[in-house]
Amino acid sequence: MNATSPIRKIYQGIADRRQMFRLFDRHAQRPNRFADDAGVYGNEWFELDESGHDYMLGILPPLWMRADMFALSEFLTGSVTSVFFRLSIEGRVRYFHSYCDLADKGSPERMRAAIVERESWPVKAMTHDERLEHIWSSTHDDYRGYAGDCWPPALRGKRTLLVYDRGRTVLKLLHDLSDAEIAAKLPVHLRHLPTDVAA
């Protein structure tokens, strides 16, 4: 697994086809986004509906198919491609998309195990990082971007969002959002979920 790219859930809920295509390239605005392809895209995953899964299965001949997953033959960049899963979790069949770096042997199997583990949590919860990823994934391109030349060199290229702060709109780093700003940007049904699986 890419050490700089932990396996991460990027969207809470089940993405419909429109959302699915937005999530496929949520880094489209990133400067030089293919310079570190595995680090940017690798190990991201989200849940989708059955029709989205089946649509993608029929769109191109798969690179390979296994009992519960298939990989697209068209690579996003480098050795990173889409892997789709059909998984039975706690007796219910569910569908997922991930980006796996196929140069990393065993990446799809580790992804499958991580998805099953995450989706088998005993309580409905969202970690702090999942909240930030959901906000990033759900925000329109006009309101999100990347720190440019006017930012200190160490912060350039980091993700930014427009937020409402004391009567004005300001640009903030995604990871600097306060708890109140995070809550304001989440849908109402996600705001009060615990952050700890044991909660």
Q: Are 135 and 186 in contact (CB under 8 A)?
A: yes
Q: Which two tokens stand for residue 104?
A: 């990393």
Runs of H (alpha helix) within the chain: 17-24, 37-41, 50-59, 107-119, 128-138, 179-185, 188-191
Strands 168-173 and 80-89: unpaired
Report whether 19 contacts 57 (CB < 8 A). Answer: no
Is residue 1 over pLDDT 50? no
**pTM of the shown model:** 0.88
In the sheet with 69-72, reading across from the earlier edge strand, the strands are 8-15, 44-48, 92-101, 80-89, 69-72, 62-66
Average per-residue pLDDT for the chain: 88
Strand blocks (E) in 42-79: 44-48, 62-66, 69-72
Total Cβ atoms within 10 A of residue 3:
6
Computed on alpha carbons and rounded to an integer, the radius of gyration of the chain in Å comes to: 17
Q: Residue 183's CB: how many other CB atoms inside 10 A?
A: 14
The least confident of 15-19, 24-28, 56-60 is 24-28
Mean pLDDT of 8-15: 94
Return the bridge partners of 100, or none: 81
Q: What is the DSSP letter of 87?
A: E
pLDDT tens sequence across 135-168: 999 999 999 999 988 999 999 889 999 998 888 8
Tokens 């009567």 correspond to what residue? 167
Q: Which of 29-33, 102-106, 123-127, 192-196 has the lowest mean pLDDT?
A: 29-33
pLDDT at 35: 61
